[in-house]
Structure 1
Amino acid sequence: MTPIRHNSSERPGRSGQPDRSGQPDRSDGDPVLDAVRDCVLAVGVRRTTLTDVARRAGVSRMTLYRRWPDVRSLVGDLMTREWIAVAVEAMPERRPGTYARTLIVDGLVAGVRAFRAHPLFRKIVDVDPELLLPYVLDRRGASQEALLSLLADQLREGHADGSVRAGHTERQARSLLLVVQSFTLSLRTMTEEDDPELDGDAFLAELRTILERTLTP
């Protein structure tokens, strides 16, 4: 999947406009992706078939085969659409007098919370977690590239307004993503929801502290 590049004034995967490579965003508002999302939420990825998706989307299987060779590639595009939307929607709107560091920290903490509550993410983690392993162990996906680009833009703004410590922008962005990925994917292995000192909210507060101390000059 082609990485989605954007700047701080653009929101990826939301407008349906071509990306900088000149290719249209085939996944934005796509009824086929809506259909596969419904299938996955109902039965999981392994039990979803292209026939099921075609029936829900009201298209023929041949129409699907022209764009996606199998269910996994279709689900890959679905995850890209959904994860980018979660990340973008979590980023707060810029307010007058607000430093870039505040926007970055607020957005990342809100993003972890939103991912953990997202029904598709929860379904995949519970039923088909192996789908996420390539993006944790082997390579970056399109949604990760999009988030890195967004983070890099905001870090540059933080360098400019003095709210973020000076450093290599791309390395800082990748390090932040590594931190929030670990909280997103592994947080439930560390929480005790019946203990307010070790529940999800307590760990998200700890994440906020980690991010603030990482970014503060």
Structure 2
Amino acid sequence: MTPIRHNASDSDPVLDAVRDCVLAVGVRRTTLTDVARRAGVSRMTLYRRWPDVRSLVGDLMTREWIEAATRAMPVPEPGAGARARIVEGMVRGVDAFRTHPLFRKIVDVDPELLLPYVLDRRGASQEALLGLLAEALREGHADGSVRPGHPQRQARSLLLVAQSFTLSLRTMTDEDDADLSPEAFYAELRTILERTLTP
């Protein structure tokens, strides 16, 4: 699977508008009328691409999550194995998701939006992330830094670990204890990933 790539230049005025609306009032209080007004387009223009706000927010999440993940992945360095890049990219990615303003707003105000992607099905952003991971794992298999294995199964297993840290880490941290801070858990995540991927 060829991964979908997004970057800061992938600007869409409608997606930018829905992001601003969601950050201001949450998903449930965002309307297509509000989005159309902010984007400077008609409601009919929106209806041609999106039947409702949830589908529009789904495309926004896909754009934002893929951008966060690709920015988190370190640039390959000559002579460095893929495993180090995967581990560092995943730890950075978990932090990028947890601190992303849109992710935080959805978790705080509309967490039910995330449940289908945790309990029932994979979304477009998860499929794209799996593609990125599988590609990096194949590189690790080729350079010998990642233990041999089925790349899709390994990618899915890694994403399950990353999702649990992303979604549930704040339930396990303690602001008053440096040993139970997010940074301390990121160190544990690095250890888990290293031991999982080392041949």
TM-score, normalised via structure 1 length: 0.89
Paired with 2:128 and 2:8, the residues of 1 have a C-alpha distance of 14
The Cα of 1:154 is off from its aligned counterpart by 0.8
Quick one: which amino acid aligns to residue 46 of structure 1?
R
2:7 aligned to which of 14, 18, 22: 14
The Cα of 1:5 is off from its aligned counterpart by 2.7
Q: Deviations over 1:33-80 (max 9, x none)?
A: 000000000000000000100000001111111111110000000000
Paired with 2:175 and 2:77, the residues of 1 have a C-alpha distance of 34
Q: Please tell me whether the aligned partners of residues 44 and 124 of structure 1 are also in contact (alpha carbons under 8 angstroms).
A: yes
TM-score, normalised via structure 2 length: 0.97
The Cα of 1:213 is off from its aligned counterpart by 0.3
Structure 2: gaps (5+ residues): none
Greater per-residue helix proportion = 2
The Cα of 1:29 is off from its aligned counterpart by 1.3
Secondary structure of the residue aligned to 1:42 is helix
Partner of 2:77: 95
Determine if the alignment matches structure 1 residue 179 to structure 2 residue 161: yes
* % identical equivalent positions: 80
Paired with 1:112 and 1:181, the residues of 2 have a C-alpha distance of 8
Q: Please tell me whether the aligned partners of residues 44 and 128 of structure 1 are also in contact (alpha carbons under 8 angstroms).
A: yes
Paired with 1:131 and 1:15, the residues of 2 have a C-alpha distance of 24
Q: CA RMSD in A?
A: 1.3
Q: Please tell me whether the aligned partners of residues 8 and 67 of structure 2 are also in contact (alpha carbons under 8 angstroms).
A: no
Paired with 1:117 and 1:175, the residues of 2 have a C-alpha distance of 23
Structure 1: gaps (5+ residues): 17-27
Paired with 1:89 and 1:113, the residues of 2 have a C-alpha distance of 12
Paired with 2:7 and 2:184, the residues of 1 have a C-alpha distance of 32
Mapping of residues 160-179 of structure 1, within 5 Å: 160-179=142-161
